[in-house]
């Protein structure tokens, strides 16, 4: 019993040591959007609506691309567990090239088709006209974000997440400085509003990409990791890396597209509603970065145990991740519940919008824990090459359940923004229940799934 307690304590320490800088870096990534929202909201409610729509559409492409690149993290961790660190350099090389092409296609698609897409969503013409140029600027920075994302996944899988954390914190400061000049105007530059915030994000993503790869190339063990040599694994390893990414990419596309649909439904309710949802979405996304970071740490540790053939370790790291996620997000929900009005007041001076946001924040506390658990469970499953069930679960929960339920509650049932939040809560609970159940099933003592 004592040895078991020591083992659990050691595993928990390893999980938290890896997780906390990853959580901070994930929060930092999302804080860029939050900073943009804060600065634009203080400038203009109308411009906030433009920013919210553009961010929602570009966010679908961004999160899908990062999902496609998740094989970098999983395969790097797995090779470490197998005792083959020299194979990880090939993982990064493949991932970086893949990221370039994903980013380029994403940029061209949104640059030339973004306004057409917005126009097809039956939004008010002035919303389309205002959001389209902002979306174009976000599109320009997508290749930078994708390539930088591959680098950050690699560093985290090597258990060197502090480099990512420091870079993200520094670039948030840079993003804020650029926003404060470009959004309201200054130093002879005219006010750019939401487009100015998008340019701030572009600058920050450019610096982040350069920072990550400079750090990787300067690693003391860079040659031992195979960074300057041809990949030692063949087409099968490349195919497995892409396969893991396909599952995560589809899941993230489904979920992010579903949340974009929530922005569209809010747009049908009017400009104030879409601005309010934009604030709620940014707050929820910021909080979501904590379980995203914890899920990334869980994927690394579960992937290492999986690569080493340690079934007990896989189950133990999963259980610890679920427990930590539940505890942290319960505390976060309590804080948000008690501080909803001050948080809303910090976003906007508009009294109507402030009241709507405060009510939405209180209601959002219903889904924080479930939303966090579903992403941790999905990452723990993908680390074992179980990619189909998370994808199917997200499709059912967020597309077949959340979207029609949100539309019904918000518009026919007359619940407005509250109806959208209720739909998110139901879908998140459904996804979390299925994915945690799947994790316990595939890691049960006599499961037929072969590890290693």
- What single DSSP character describes residue 412? T
pLDDT value at position 3? 54
Residue 368 parent element (H or E):
helix 368-382
- Mean pLDDT over 64-77 rounds to 86
Q: Is the pLDDT assigned to residue 2 strictly greater than 60?
A: no
Q: Confirm whether 448 is domain-assigned.
A: no
Ramachandran region, residue 63 (left: φ > 0; alpha: ψ -120 to 50; beta: rest): alpha
**Angstrom distance (rounded) from CA 167 to CA 172:** 9
Mean pLDDT over the full length of the chain: 84
For range 53-63, the mean pLDDT: 81
pTM, rounded to two decimals: 0.70
Higher confidence at residue 423 or residue 6? 423
Question: Does residue 447 form part of some domain?
Answer: no
pLDDT at 451: 43
Q: Sorting pLDDT into bands at 50, 70 and 90, what band is 208?
A: very high
405, 398, 400: which is closest to 422 by C-alpha? 405
pLDDT band (50, 70, 90) for residue 5: low
Percentage of the chain exceeding pLDDT 70: 95
The verdict on residue 449 lying in a domain is: no
With a cut of 70, say whether residue 449 has pLDDT above it: no
- What residues make up the domain containing 148? 2-442
Q: Give the Cα separation of 423 and 400 in Å (integer).
A: 11
Neighbours of 154 (CB within 10 A): 29
Whether the predicted pLDDT of 24 surpasses 80: no
Any domain includes 451: no
The average pLDDT across 420-434 equals: 93
Q: How far apart are CA 315 and CA 311, in angstroms?
A: 6
Are the CB atoms for 114 and 140 separated by under 8 Å? no
Identify whether 130 is part of a domain. Answer: yes
Residue 87's pLDDT band (cuts 50, 70, 90): confident
Average pLDDT over residues 243-258: 80
Confidence of residue 127 (pLDDT cuts 50, 70, 90): confident
- Residue 287 to residues 174, 284, 368, 427, Cα–Cα distance (Å): 22, 5, 8, 17
Digit-coded pLDDT (tens) for 276-300: 887 888 788 778 878 887 887 888 7
Residue with tokens 């954390």: 165
Please state, in angstroms and as integers, the Cα–Cα distance from residue 434 to each residue in 137, 302, 425, following that order.
38, 19, 15
Q: pLDDT confidence of 447, banded at 50, 70, 90?
A: very low
| For residues 83-89, average pLDDT | 85
Instruction: Report the distance separating Cα 398 and Cα 242, nearest Å.
Output: 24
- pLDDT over threshold 80, residue 105: yes
Please report where in the chains the tokens 């979306």 appear, as a residue.
135
Please say if the pLDDT value at position 167 is more than 60. Answer: yes
Range in 3-12, 376-385, 395-404 the model is least confident about: 3-12
Report if residue 373 sits inside a domain: yes
Using CB atoms within 10 Å of the CB of residue 6, give its burial: 0 to 12 exposed, 13 to 18 middle, 19+ buried.
exposed
> Is residue 414's pLDDT more than 60?
yes
Q: How much is the pLDDT for 452?
A: 42
| Per-residue pLDDT at 7 | 60
Contact yes or no for 31/109 (Cβ under 8 A): no
For residues 256-294, b (16+ Cβ closer than 10 Å) or e, as one string?
A: bbbbbbbbbbbbebebbbbbbbbbbbbbbbbbbbbbbbb
pLDDT tens digit sequence for 307-349: 777 778 888 888 888 988 999 999 999 999 999 889 888 877 7
CA–CA distance, 56 with 119 (Å, rounded to integer):
15
Terminal CA-CA length for the chain: 27
User: How many Å apart are CA 443 and CA 43, to the nearest integer?
Assistant: 51
Backbone angles phi, psi at 186, to 5 degrees: 170, 160
Phi, psi of 204 (to 5 degrees): -65, -40
Residue 272 lies in a domain: yes
Token couple for 406: 């949100």
Determine the pLDDT at residue 409: 93
Kindly state the average pLDDT of the residues 18-33: 73
Percent of the chain with pLDDT over 90: 25
Is the distance from CB of 37 to CB of 190 less than 8 angstroms? no
CA-derived radius of gyration, the chain: 21
Distance of CA 417 to the CA centre of its chain: 23
In a domain, 207, yes or no: yes
Range 208-221 average pLDDT: 92
Predicted local distance difference test score (pLDDT) of residue 6: 56
What would the mean pLDDT of 375-393 be, rounded to a whole number?
86
Residue closest to 321 by CA, chosen among 243, 435, 429: 435
Which single residue is written with the structure tokens 């990452």?
379
142 or 79, which is more confident? Answer: 142
* Number of folded domains that form the chain: 1
């Amino acid at each position: 019993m004592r040895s078991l307690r020591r083992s659990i304590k050691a595993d928990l320490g390893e999980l938290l040591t890896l997780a906390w800088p990853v959580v901070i870096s994930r929060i930092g990534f999302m804080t860029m959007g939050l900073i943009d929202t804060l600065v634009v909201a203080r400038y203009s409610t109308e411009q906030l609506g433009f920013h919210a729509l553009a961010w929602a559409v570009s966010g679908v492409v961004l999160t899908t691309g990062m999902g496609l690149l998740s094989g970098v993290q999983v395969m790097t961790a797995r090779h470490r567990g197998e005792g083959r660190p020299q194979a990880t350099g090939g993982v990064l090389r493949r991932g970086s090239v893949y990221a370039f092409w994903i980013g380029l296609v994403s940029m061209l698609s949104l640059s030339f088709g973004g306004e057409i897409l917005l126009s097809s969503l039956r939004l008010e013409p002035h919303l389309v006209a205002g959001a389209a140029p902002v979306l174009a600027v976000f599109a320009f920075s997508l290749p930078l974000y994708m390539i930088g994302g591959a680098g950050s996944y690699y560093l985290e899988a090597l258990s060197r997440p502090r480099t990512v954390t420091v870079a993200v914190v520094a670039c948030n400061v840079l993003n804020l400085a650029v926003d404060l000049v470009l959004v309201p105007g200054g130093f002879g530059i005219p006010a750019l509003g939401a487009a100015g915030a998008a340019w701030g994000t572009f600058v920050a993503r450019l610096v982040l990409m350069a920072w990550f790869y400079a750090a990787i190339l300067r690693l003391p063990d860079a040659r031992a990791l195979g960074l300057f040599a041809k990949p030692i694994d063949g087409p099968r390893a490349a195919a497995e890396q892409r396969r893991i990414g396909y599952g995560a990419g589809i899941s993230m596309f489904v979920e992010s597209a579903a949340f974009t649909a929530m922005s569209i439904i809010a747009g049908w309710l009017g400009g104030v509603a879409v601005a309010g949802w934009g604030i709620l979405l940014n707050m929820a996304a910021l909080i979501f970065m904590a379980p995203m970071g914890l899920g990334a740490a869980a994927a690394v540790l579960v992937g290492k145990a999986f690569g080493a053939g340690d079934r007990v370790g896989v189950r133990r790291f999963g259980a610890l991740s679920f427990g930590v996620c539940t505890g942290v997000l319960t505390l976060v929900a309590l804080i948000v519940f008690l501080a909803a009005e001050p948080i809303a007041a910090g976003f906007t001076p508009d009294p109507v919008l402030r009241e709507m946001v405060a009510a939405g924040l209180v209601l959002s506390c219903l889904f924080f824990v479930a939303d966090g658990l579903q992403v941790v469970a999905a990452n723990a499953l993908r680390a074992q090459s179980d990619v189909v069930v998370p994808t199917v679960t997200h499709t059912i929960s967020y597309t077949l359940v959340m979207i029609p339920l949100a539309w019904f509650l918000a518009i026919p049932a007359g619940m407005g923004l509250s109806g959208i939040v209720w739909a998110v809560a139901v879908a998140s609970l459904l996804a979390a229940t299925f994915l945690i159940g799947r994790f316990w099933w595939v890691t049960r003592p006599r499961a037929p799934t072969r590890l290693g």
